[in-house]
Structure 1
Amino acid sequence: MKKLLKGYLIAILSLVFLIIVIIGMFSSNSDQCQSTSTDVSVTTSADKEAVAKSLHDNLKKISGVTEAGIAGYLGNTQHESGFNSSVIQSNAPYSESQAMNPKVSGYAFGLNQWDNSRRVELINYAESKNKPWTDASVQFDFALNHDGTNSDLLKQGLKMTNIDDATEFLRASWERGGAGTTATRQSYARSWYAKFSNGSSDTAVDTATTGTETTQNADNTTNNSSGCLTNVAQGMGLSGAPVKEIPSAYKSKIKDTNFTATSSSNTYPFGQCTWYTYNRMQELGTPVENGLGNGADWGKNAKAKGYKTDSQPHVSWAVGFSQGADGADPTYGHVAVVEAISDDGKHFLVSECNVVASGTGTVSFRELTAGKGVTFIQGK
């Protein structure tokens, strides 16, 4: 009887073991079928068109990306590196001490010529993946997901719908270099658009690399966050509508026309009027600080922090608009930079952001007159 029971026990245990093995096999196959691996593979080739096509096809997998945005990215990449992921600026040789020193400038690496601390971060990221920094796939993944807020800027540009605007946005806000090369980059971009888009503006619905969707959701939160949304429908001021070019009457009055300069210390939400005003004031050498609040809050907060304020315009001063003043958002207000005063002294020109093509970082200009709800702020 004991032997019989022992035999039954062994048989039952064997059957249980067999069932577990079978379940494990099905489970393994199921995992393989449902894999969420999103690794990308970018071609490394001396044929620049092959690399460009590979980059294009990978970018098409990212939700929200447009053909215009991709073309803008490709135009910039061609100008930066000629699609050579191994190139070092000025064809310099590799130096470990230079490469790993974030203070070293003019020693940029790779497809998009990362420099300074971004170069160091690229190298460190590649090492964490046990890959050389020259690996094009590593650089592509780094650009999209691991370059800090710069990855957010890249995705902003990739979602723009105008080729020239996307190209210039990526040059000025993401690459942050190449002043004076805009026309060349845009020409490259239009060529790639003609080659790859087939006249289509369709976008893909999948994600290319880990973290892309999460970051895009963060982008949307940033774009809709409080700051300065200016209401164009409210008339945009007493004496002029927003324009993207400096009005002819003011062109000779403005010496520093680098309106796309950005600052790494800027913590205001990207594309908002506060973000632009901080950048522009830094460029003009009359900086303001982070944390001054929404556009409507700048006047009172700056005054409380010791900034000089006035009710009359001064060149190179910031100007804060209370809620609704000169078309400012009825909740958040607005802020801009005074660029010039009219010959008769009755009008002034401002440069500003988030008025034209909201959320893209596009700079525009308006001629205004000083009035109620406006405070001028001198930088320090």
Structure 2
Amino acid sequence: MSEEEKDFRNRLVRKRHIKESVQRHHQSSARKAQKATKNELKTAKKDHKAAKKAYQKARSDFKDGNIDLEALGDTYDKLTQTKAKQKVAKKIKKKVRKTNPTIGQKARQTGAHLVKRSSLESLELGLEQDDILSDAVQMKHRIHQSQVTARQAGKVIGKGAKLAYRGAKGAVKLGSKGAQKTYKTAKVGTRKAAQATTQITKSLASFANAAGTAVAGLITNPISWIVTAVLGLLLLVVILVSSIFSSNIVQQNEFTLNQSWLHLSKLDRKESSDQVDYYTDIDSILLYMNYRYGGEWEPDAKWDDGFGGKITAALGFNHFSDALDDIWKEENKDIHNLKTMAELYTNGKEWMKFSKDDLEEYKEILEGQTDTGKYVAYQELANPFYPVEDDRADSEYLTITKRYGYTDKDTIDPTTTLQTTTGQKLYAAIDGQATITTKDLKGEETQSTNLIIESDEARFIYYDLSHIRIKTGDTVETGQELASTSDNSLKIAYAKNYGEVDDNDSKWLKEIRDKEVSYGYIQKTKKDKKEVWVLVNPGFYFPFVEYSEKTLVTQTASEMSGRAKQFYDLVKKYLPNATDNGIAAIVGCFGVESSVNPKRAEGDYLSPPIGASDNSWDDETWLTISGPAIYGGGYPNILKRGLGLGQWTDTSDGAIRNTLLRDFAKKKGQKWYTLELQVQFMLEGDNPYYINVFKQIATSQEDVDSLTEAFLANWEGVPGNKLAERQAVAKQALSWFKQPSLAGGGTLASSWNFPEAYRSKVTNPPTQKAMTTQRGSGYEVGQCTWYAYNRLVELGSITDLSGAYGYLGNGQDWVRNLVAKGWKYSITPTKGAVVSVQGGFGMTLLGYGHVAIVEYVNPDGTFLISECNVSGVKDKVHFAVWSPASCYSFATPN
């Protein structure tokens, strides 16, 4: 048989195999069939990868003479076979999905087909011209919209918009005033049409109520006959698809959704501390709650799920805010094991967990959000960095470097900051009338030149612009070029018209009406009535956003200071002309990114396998986990997680710094997570651009604040992100650098009140180890007992780290409990002894007392002690010279 005949025969065999496999899978349900083919393809890919690896090894072995040509040929044949199987598995998967779709896929196909044939934008605009039928469009928030319907309409509406455009253009020639408006507005294109779909979907209930009146209108208005025919087709689409997809993802109205966001934002700021800075993924919580409980909720609404149940709800004790609180606490209660929303609804509290069916459906909805964005019903703002005809306007993610919400537990900042570049062109996010002003949306003076676009229902502001191309009073359309940015970030805000508020409305709305609040304002109408305007979260209204602010778990400040000093010494070693200010600026940024800890990875604080386990740090698979895997589908631009001091990441824009770091470590024969290796990497192995920026900042004589801002913008690439916090750490770092280093390479602990006369007498002073939680400790960080345990471990006085010494009671109890473990009791001090202070003496609390470590004993009996938690200072070692007293007792190891 010739090669050509063999090839022909093989193709026939493959086709028959594919056909038989597809038929076999058709015997199962669509969901099971597609899942099976997906697993088969996964197995085939795995087998091919293994065969490829085996063939590469065989080639190497053949070159070395370890195997013969026949063995090499066998591995090549295996590679060829697995490649063919992978190709077949891929085709089977594709055919099964196409020929045996799930109910959801069928509905989406049907919806897409019908929506393509209906000119939705013309319909909406036509309805708006009809005084009777316009009620059906204007009615808001009265019906739960179908997320999947809106998603699919958004995908196919481009063609529908083009049909509307062509039809409207022809109508213009007829001179119809209404058609002229239709034509003009239809040019906005896809986005307007998608919005029309959403609005009409939400208005069907109102339309039913208006049907009787509409019939009368039909008689006197011929245009309504055409409109009604098209509406009938649309009704068929919505009824068909919505009957299948009854679950809805975002059902709260935009104002209660905003209040729920603020509630969670306040929790983040209220609970943040020097150990953890919370930026919870609020979107994931709100989406879950909307899917699970629908839309009739705002924070003070009664809630009867979870703790207390219906009884406490009936008594007015349980509210929707309690549900949000419960989720927040479950996610964040253990800062060393933070949870995600996905972990809670799969394996959390009973009330939070999904049923199997709901979980499958919810995962499918979340998967669809990669195409649509999260808040489909509210996507009325266009990407301000692209004109509407640019495809990126509908697909590019906006990076929010400072999110809307609370900045502390009492203050709401209603602005949002977007990451951009200086001189970036800006386009209109909405239609409306433009105003160039130095005021904000509330009419308060600012120190910048701003641009406001205003319509009857919304107002959008761009702060601090340059090269403005329009003037006050101009009417602008979505996507029209407006101005340029004057900085590498853009501050914006968005206000929506709520309308009149009466005493039956929610407390927060009445506060806007009656008080001066940051998140809203009032405006009088022509009829001298008060309309409430709410400053809302713009993140709801853009198609795709991501937040650079993430929960940051830090170590104690003292641990950070020790590493900062080591970093300083290493930078000076490899870059002798580096300045204190330059290195401090870099430390300030690294303090926020990684706590100046080289052994950090993005998301390492989460539960394994996404979070870190002991063996994760050398696992290539773990080190290269992507953003969506870490953040439950978010941050698709992160291809490989951030690592090390600077959280070096591989991203979709071409950055490969994660890869460069690991390759550099392999080249040097060192672990990637060692501090010295990472300092060398920044000076030798990083991208040349970043090496240059690092050296420029590190050797600069400019002030610390300016250098920190420059390093953040040019090296980290997230201008403005937590800048104040980074600058504060940078300034503190200047004092850390002055800590003396020990001959063995360790760093002295930060301390205060050390008497210089003892500098040469204390031969083994406390290092950072004494201010770092040691294994076996059961004491609260920063307490005197915590320090005493760490210091004794450092001195070698405690060698059993199993926890036997982890619970010695309050400070006054230590000597007694140590003696019970075999230590020697004394009433006089000796070097290295533990000293307990009886409660009530030496300004200690009755019942608690205090504990310290004796560092040196003078001939006259006075002695130098080291201690912690004096005057509330928990991040530095305190020194003092005490005189013998009856309130002191001592214990030393035998």
- TM-score of the two chains, using structure 2 as the length reference: 0.23
